Amino acid sequence: MGLSSMRQVTFEGAGGPEIIRVVEAARPEPGDGEVLIEVAAAGVNRPDCLQRAGAYPPPKGESPIPGLEVSGRVIARGQGVTWPAEGDEVCALLGSGGYAEYAVAAAALCLPVPKPLSLVEAAGLPETFFTVFDNVFTRGRLKPGEALLVHGGSSGIGSTAIQLARAFGARVIATAGSAEKCAFCRALGAEAAIDYKTQDFVEAAREIVGKTGVDVVLDMVGGSYLQKNISIMATEGRLVQIGFLQSGLIENFDFRPVMLRRLTLTGSTLRARSVGQKAEIAAALREKVWPLLESGAVKPVISASFPLEQARQAHELMESSAHMGKILLVTGR
Ligand SMILES: NC(=O)c1ccc[n+]([C@@H]2O[C@H](COP(=O)([O-])OP(=O)(O)OC[C@H]3O[C@@H](n4cnc5c(N)ncnc54)[C@H](OP(=O)(O)O)[C@@H]3O)[C@@H](O)[C@H]2O)c1
């Protein structure tokens, strides 16, 4: 392999995990305001599976290489970068390009590796911490003492949401698809975890929060969950939609409770937003959340790590939903 080449993951067309290939390609170069990172590890996220299936193409101008987050060492800088320095260990949020031995990141979207974490573990931070902080706290306005209902509690997103909401003094109820996953959610700080496969989550949540209801719902399921979420929300409650694992199309939706209980229905995607908007989230994370990671109060939960060559197995595991927490790809660098 040449000095300026690298291994990277590519998708041959659109389809299942069998279309994943590892190929040799040229290393990218950092532009103005960007750094080149020698990647130690890349996080695997559900949106990567959607991208592979052809349902979530990278925004215009982004690399076709999958991967929304990495950790590694900065080895080169473009013009106008004051931090990080060459040699610094960082984790970074990317628009794409993480499943590779080298990746370009906006300097403003890099964050230092918290002391208690290894360089590899830090790859599991950016995508879920940016998403959860922005959606639960900025958009959802979750306050101390309020109750948060998190669906997919054992997912990468869910495991981060449970920990952050607890760390900021909120009550947390999670849903997950097995007794083992529910125990995982409780160990992370959820006051209660509901196995949605054996219980009606609305009835079970009502027993916990009573008539008052929950203040914020973080939902990635959609479909039949929309009306159910609304039925359990407190007056002035906020529903934050970040995915549609079941469906984004809802028939016969009764909008009346939204008006009568003054509910807010909102949501967002992270990847399509500008570097400037994401940099604001990075700055807020560094100020408010990084101290919690530095103290060890909050940490990413790593379910499994695979070598880059086994990206296919990593996607198969994610789509089996057998994991709890994050899945990583490790480059060996
Ligand atoms: N909007 C954004 O900016 C943004 C950013 C990142 C991720 N996301 C979204 O957040 C969600 C979680 O992402 P992640 O990377 O944390 O995923 P993940 O770790 O793969 O977790 C997804 C989990 O959701 C649960 N689930 C519930 N209903 C499901 C259904 N109908 N089909 C499949 N799984 C279902 C599964 O566990 P059990 O069913 O066993 O409980 C599964 O493990 C995804 O929908 C992703 O697209 C959104």
Q: Which atom of ligand 1 is nearest to the CA of 153?
A: 41
Note whether 179 and 252 are same-domain residues. yes
Residue 229 belongs to domain spanning: 129-267
| Residue 48 pLDDT | 97
Note whether 177 and 72 are same-domain residues. no
Note whether 44 and 90 are same-domain residues. yes
| Residue 61 pLDDT | 86
The stretches of 147-303 forming alpha helices (DSSP H) are 156-167, 179-187, 201-209, 225-231, 256-260, 275-288, 290-294
The SS3 of residue 37 is: strand
Q: Residues 170-190: pLDDT tens digits?
A: 999 999 999 999 999 999 999
Note whether 106 and 134 are same-domain residues. no
Token pair in block for residue 31:
């532009």
Note whether 181 and 67 are same-domain residues. no
Note whether 118 and 158 are same-domain residues. no
Note whether 94 and 155 are same-domain residues. no
Q: Maximum CA pair distance of the chain? A: 65
Most ligand 1 atoms within 8 A of CB, residue of 155, 188, 246 to mutate: 155
| Residue 2 pLDDT | 60
CATH number for the domain spanning 238: value is: 3.40.50.720
| Residue 298 pLDDT | 98
Cα(9) to ligand 1 centroid in Å equals 22
Note whether 73 and 21 are same-domain residues. yes
Cα(62) to ligand 1 centroid in Å equals 23
The model's pTM: 0.97
The last residue of a domain, from among 221, 246, 267: 267
Q: Which atom of ligand 1 is nearest to the CA of 50?
A: 47
CA-closest residue to ligand 1 atom 5: 131
The last residue of a domain, from among 218, 236, 267: 267
Note whether 18 and 85 are same-domain residues. yes
Collect all residues with Cβ–Cβ distance below 8 Å to 11 and sequence separation of at least 6.
Answer: 19, 20, 21, 51, 52, 64, 66
Note whether 134 and 119 are same-domain residues. no
Q: Which atom of ligand 1 is nearest to the CA of 325?
A: 19
Q: Of the candidates 267, 215, 277, 264, which has an alpha carbon nearest to the alpha carbon of residue 242?
A: 267
Cα(27) to ligand 1 centroid in Å equals 31
CA-closest residue to ligand 1 atom 2: 269
The SS3 of residue 54 is: coil
| Residue 32 pLDDT | 98
Q: Cα separation of 307 and 315, whole Å?
A: 12
Q: What is the helix (H) or strand (E) element at residue 7, kind and residue range?
A: strand 5-11
CATH number for the domain spanning 30: value is: 3.90.180.10
User: What per-residue string of b and e applies to 276-294 under the rule 16 or more CB within 10 Å gives b?
Assistant: eebbebbeebeeebbebbe
Taking 50 as the pLDDT cut, the residues of the chain under it are none
Note whether 133 and 232 are same-domain residues. yes
Q: Of the candidates 67, 36, 39, 40, which has an alpha carbon nearest to the alpha carbon of residue 51?
A: 67
Most ligand 1 atoms within 8 A of CB, residue of 157, 163, 217 to mutate: 157
The number of distinct structural domains making up the chain is: 2
| Residue 59 pLDDT | 87
The last residue of a domain, from among 242, 267, 292: 267
| Residue 62 pLDDT | 87
Note whether 147 and 230 are same-domain residues. yes
Decide: 213 and 233 in contact? Cβ < 8 Å: yes
Cα(325) to ligand 1 centroid in Å equals 11
Q: Cα separation of 83 and 40, whole Å?
A: 19
The pocket around ligand 1, CB under 6 angstroms, is made up of 45-47, 127, 131, 152, 154-157, 176-177, 181, 220-221, 242-243, 245-246, 268-270, 318, 321
